[in-house]
Amino acid sequence: MKKLKLIILLLIGISFEIQGQELEVNLQIRPRFEYRNGYKTLLPEGQEGTSQISQRSRLNFNYKQDQFTVKLTFQNTRTWGDVATTASADKNGVAVFEAWAQYDLTEKWSVRMGRQVLSYDNQRILGEIDWAQQGQSHDALTFSFHTEKQQLDFGGAYNSDAENTLQIPYTVANYKAMQYAWYHANLDKLGVSFLLLNTGYEYANIDKKLLIDYKQTFGPYLTYKTAKIDTNFWLYGQTGKSTDRQVSAWNAAANFGYNINQSFKAGLGYEFLSGKNTNDGSTVIKSFNPVFGTNHAFNGYMDYFYVGGGHLNNVGLQDAFVKLNYNVNKWQFTLMPHVFLSAADVMTPVEKLDSYLGTEVDFTAGFNFKKEITLTGGYSQMFGSETLEFLKKGDAGHTNNWAWLMISVNPRIFTWKK
């Protein structure tokens, strides 16, 4: 034991002799109360809504030494009460959210390996999904080239569920292999990005042979910003194959925002995600999949569409909305009504239903209590149609609403620099 202590002290002493070191440790505690009464889907007839409190707890270590950077993030996600007060073990335990090492090869080139967040542009295709308490990260190897006005990132991943000695099916609900490339350029007030994502999912054919089909998602993302105007546009296509089925889908959107003054901003937008007619008997996948996007930020905060796999391989979606932002002192308010329509035909055995799915109204408010503490909350209500009831089941005539309140505490608990 004395020898072990001596070795640890010697290693610490050696590390202190190295120049250019930085270490920061910070913490996040984020409990969130939610009242769910028709959240994600219409409330079934005769059923009642529910409430719960979830919590994220994260401990972040950020270390930098010359060209070398390391990040390690531990997290626990829980629902209050999911284990007894005398439980000897936690239900979800402690997980590693991020664990990566990066080396700057030159001033312009860097390489990063390990568990990491892949987040680009407005996170429509690749995002952190920060709203979800568990977030989203990937085990990947990535490279980055960056200058003052340009950046090129590319990388990939290859997954297995264990250190196997024989080929066995990959049973994790995840891709088997993935490659991507993302390019961005700043051209004065115009920002231009292009993303190419190749995802391969494993499946067994009729002969029980394990195969991987690859689906490609690709397209540009454009922004234009001035002191008054804030706009963006994107167009993504999807092709390739998925479980031996051809893929042919697309997604397009345009958003326009205008700063009326320093406190008030108004905007409007429209998004189209392709779908498939309910009476279409072909095997072609025509419904667009946002893949790894932060879907909660799009198409209404009640998460009726695309969050957690909902509405995938369905009739698609049209989303027209208005967004009003008002900021005053430490307060932020947002009002966003959405009008939803199907992108493809909704057919019953006897008739074609109206494409109108419903109207959702989202209201959120935030208060910066102090630098390390933020309070946010919101209320949303879905006014569903008979067509939405046909697709989602449940009762569109019932009051379908959702309310939430979240406190985020983010203290920096330690910092050191030499």
| pLDDT score recorded for residue 19 | 59
pLDDT in tens, the chain (418 residues): 454 444 434 444 544 455 579 999 999 999 999 999 999 999 998 899 999 999 999 999 999 999 999 999 999 999 999 999 999 899 999 999 999 999 999 999 999 999 999 999 999 999 999 999 999 999 999 999 999 999 999 999 999 999 999 999 999 999 999 999 999 999 999 999 999 999 999 999 988 899 999 999 999 999 999 999 999 999 999 999 999 999 999 999 999 999 999 999 999 999 999 999 999 999 999 999 999 999 999 999 999 999 988 888 899 999 999 999 999 999 999 999 999 999 999 999 889 999 999 999 999 999 999 989 999 999 999 999 999 999 999 999 999 999 999 999 999 999 999 8
Q: Is residue 63 part of a domain?
A: yes
Q: How many domains does the chain have?
A: 1
| pLDDT score recorded for residue 311 | 87
Would you say 219 and 195 are in contact if contact means Cβ atoms under 8 Å apart? yes
Q: Is residue 385 part of a domain?
A: yes
Helices and strands, number each (H, E), in the chain = 2, 20
Q: Could you tell me which residues come within 8 angstroms of residue 87 by beta carbon, excluding any fewer than 6 positions away?
A: none
| pLDDT score recorded for residue 332 | 97
Q: Is residue 411 part of a domain?
A: yes
Burial class (CB in 10 A: 0-12, 13-18, 19+), 292: buried
| pLDDT score recorded for residue 252 | 98
What range defines the domain where residue 37 resides?
Answer: 26-417
Comparing CA positions, the residue from 406, 318, 323 lying closest to residue 361 is: 323
Type of residue numbered 259? N
Q: Is residue 2 part of a domain?
A: no
- Decide: pTM greater than 0.85: yes
Q: Is residue 88 part of a domain?
A: yes
Q: Is residue 206 part of a domain?
A: yes
CA distance 229 to 264: 12
| pLDDT score recorded for residue 7 | 42
Q: Is residue 147 part of a domain?
A: yes
Which CATH number characterizes residue 382's domain?
A: 2.40.160.100
Q: Is residue 176 part of a domain?
A: yes
Q: What is the DSSP string of 176-238?
A: SEEEEEEEEEEETTEEEEEEEEEEEEEEE-TT--EEEEEEEEEEEEEEEE-SSEEEEEEEEEE
